[in-house]
Amino acid sequence: MDSLPPLLIRDARLPDGRSGIDLLAEGGRFTAIGPALPAPAGVEVLDAQGWLLIPPFVDAHFHLDAALSHGLPRVNASGTLLEGIALWGELKPLLTEEALVDRALQYCDWAVARGLLAIRSHVDVCDGRLLAVRALLEVKRRVAPWLDLQLVAFPQDGLLRAPGALANLKRALDLGVDVVGGIPHFERTAEQGGESVRLLCELAAERGLRVDMHCDESDDPLSRHIETLAFHTRRLGLHGRVTGSHLTSMHSMNNYYVSKLLPLIAEAGVHAVANPLINITLQGRHDSYPKRRGMTRVPELLAAGVNVGFGHDCALDPWYALGSADMLEVAAMGLHVAQMTSLAGQRQCFDAVTANNARILGLEGYGLEVGCRADAVLLQARTPEEALRLRAQRLAVVRRGGVVSRMAPATAHLSLPGRPARVDFTRQMRAGAAGADR
Ligand code: FE2
């Protein structure tokens, strides 16, 4: 796509509040940003009409191998994590590489249409055929021009619990999978969980790879593998390259222990990923009332200086019967579950599906600055907070300076006496009334 003609985006509003901004993309990167830029010869123009332009959405945690398999071979009756894992085990022998590729490509189409242009997906390595690994490596190659797909070697059935899992995980890395995964809380004992964390961190250090573990996805407050993950991250000098995903047991831990734990995570530079849609759905299933929400302590992690991202995790699969690649839906759910309703909290939730996730993936050239990759999303909203409230339409999606998706504005046509003919749910402010009704 680097051979595309230059693209001039006219009259955009940016997340920092600047309006009337033009952005020029040439050779796949932004080369000028400012008001009233001159248009080079032969330039293509995208008129933003004052709508909000943001860098693309990024998903730091997904399972593309299971996506869109809902109902195969049956649905999850109890709705629990453990039945989901058992159900996935029933489906695995029935999978074909062709069907995996088809479903993954369909989801990637949805992602691009939603302005989601980078996904970190775990891929199950416990099947000795490595069928899903081969399928997703093929998908990664095919979608590369329009979507960055980063793959995590994920031992779904346990690194030490499932026969051959460690060898399979190494084979997956040899084939080109990018990141080392794990699932310490699913090993047979807490000791084996800790041992798996040590082995996997050492493997990542040896190979110069990043780590992203499903860590403490449990309502058991004694599931404390995040402590061990932070310890080995620091011991091996892996700062900034390790992610603890889910961390739901932290919801149920006592406050005294958490007050010790948070500084350890921050000191090690371990990123945290919450998966709001899935955590609110799967956790607390063994509770009567009150039912725990189960999501990790997002505001407290942020306050301790930890980089926190949100993931979609699942869509139409054995664990989750909904989902449509909408990272605004993910952020809105996180906002509600964590009660981050202040303006600052809403902005943090928006960051959790954009810039924070870009840091977790280590994306090069992410952002709306001169020199960054010319990737952007035009939303039918004027602020990030409005985008969250409306799950705003993605009016246009730009990848490497080319428009790859367009969506019609959400507009209703009213037939009401004395009222406007059209509504689009954005907030229309009367002149001089800004802030008057806050
Ligand atoms: Fe997951």
- 20-34 per-position pLDDT tens digit: 999 999 999 999 999
Average pLDDT over residues 270-277: 98
First to last CA, the chain: 45
Domain at 96, CATH number: 3.20.20.140
* Residue 410 main-chain phi, psi, to 5 deg: -85, 110
Please list the residues that pair with 310 across neighbouring strands.
Answer: 274
CA-nearest of 263, 204, 214, 277 to 237 is 204
Query: pTM of the predicted model, to two decimals?
Result: 0.96
Residue 310 has pLDDT above 80, yes or no: yes
Q: Ligand 1 mean position to 157 CA, how many Å?
A: 13
Same domain assignment for residues 200 and 220: yes
What's the CA-to-centroid distance between 25 and ligand 1, angstroms? Answer: 35
- Residue 431 pLDDT level (bands cut at 50, 70, 90): low
Q: Is the pLDDT of residue 438 over 50?
A: no
Average predicted confidence (pLDDT) for the chain: 96
Q: Which residues pair with 213 in a beta bridge?
A: 182, 244
* Residue 438 belongs to some domain of the structure: no
**Beta strands 376-379 and 52-54, pairing class:** antiparallel
List the catalytic residue out of 26, 217, 227, 300. Answer: 217
Q: How far is the CA of 207 from the centre of ligand 1 (A)?
A: 23
Task: Tell me the chain's radius of gyration from C-alpha atoms.
Answer: 22
Phi, psi of 426 (to 5 degrees): -75, 155
If you measure from the C-alpha of residue 255 to the centroid of ligand 1, how many angstroms do you get, rounded to a whole number? 25
CB 414 within 8 A of CB 422: yes
Query: What is the CA(407)–ligand 1 centre distance, in A?
Result: 29
DSSP secondary structure letter of residue 317 = S
205 assigned to some structural domain: yes
Both 88 and 200 in one domain: the answer is: yes
Q: What's the CA-to-centroid distance between 185 and ligand 1, angstroms?
A: 13
Phi first, then psi: give them for residue 278, nearest 5 degrees: -85, -40
Q: Are residues 99 and 170 in the same domain?
A: yes
Res 10 pLDDT > 90:
yes
| Residue (of 59, 68, 64) closest to 139 by Cα position | 64
Mean pLDDT of 29-48: 96
CA dihedral (180, 348, 259, 193) in degrees, to 10, reads: -20
Q: In which domain, by residue range, is 47 found?
A: 7-55+367-412
Instruction: Find the mean pLDDT for residues 367-384.
Output: 98
pLDDT per position as a tens digit, 207-247: 999 999 999 999 999 999 999 999 999 999 999 999 999 99
How does strand 271-274 pair with strand 308-310? Answer: parallel
Predicted local confidence at residue 318, as pLDDT: 94
Question: Is 158 part of any domain?
Answer: yes
Same domain, 35 and 124: no
Residues 68, 174 within the same domain: yes
Q: How far apart are CA 349 and CA 334, in angstroms?
A: 7
For 120, list phi and psi in degrees, rounded to 5.
-95, 115
**Based on the domain organization, do 129 and 252 belong to the same domain?**
yes
> Measured in angstroms, how far is the CA atom of residue 261 from the centroid of ligand 1?
22
Tokens of 276: 């709001």
Asked if residue 434 is part of any domain, the answer here is no
**Would you call 217 a catalytic residue per the annotation?**
yes
Give me the number of domains the chain comprises. 2
Q: Is 418's pLDDT higher than 90?
A: yes
Task: Encode pLDDT of 157-215 as tens digits.
Answer: 999 999 999 999 999 999 999 999 999 999 999 999 999 999 999 999 999 999 999 99
Same domain, 379 and 240: no
Q: What is the CATH number of the domain that holds 394?
A: 2.30.40.10
Are the CB atoms for 218 and 185 separated by under 8 Å? yes
Distance 41 CA to ligand 1 centre (A): 48
224 in the same domain as 136: yes
Look at residues 238, 193, 171 and name the one whose alpha carbon lies nearest to residue 211.
238
User: How many angstroms separate the most distant Cα atoms in the chain?
Assistant: 71
The C-alpha atoms of residue 295 and residue 58 are separated, in whole angstroms, by 20
- The CA-CA-CA angle for residues 323, 329, 334, to 5°, reads 115
- Answer yes or no: is 310 within a domain: yes
Burial class (CB in 10 A: 0-12, 13-18, 19+), 367: middle
Cβ contact 244:215 at 8 Å: yes
Whole-number Å distance, alpha carbon 61 to ligand 1 midpoint, is 6
Q: How far apart are CA 273 and CA 257, in angstroms?
A: 20
Residue 230 shares a structural domain with residue 291: yes
* Cα 140 to ligand 1 centroid, rounded to whole Å: 19
Q: Is the pLDDT of residue 437 over 50?
A: no
Same domain, yes or no: 213 and 298? yes
pLDDT at site 432: 58
Q: How many residues does the chain have?
A: 438
Q: Ligand 1 centre and the CA of 107: distance in Å? A: 16
pLDDT band of residue 433 (cuts 50, 70, 90) is low
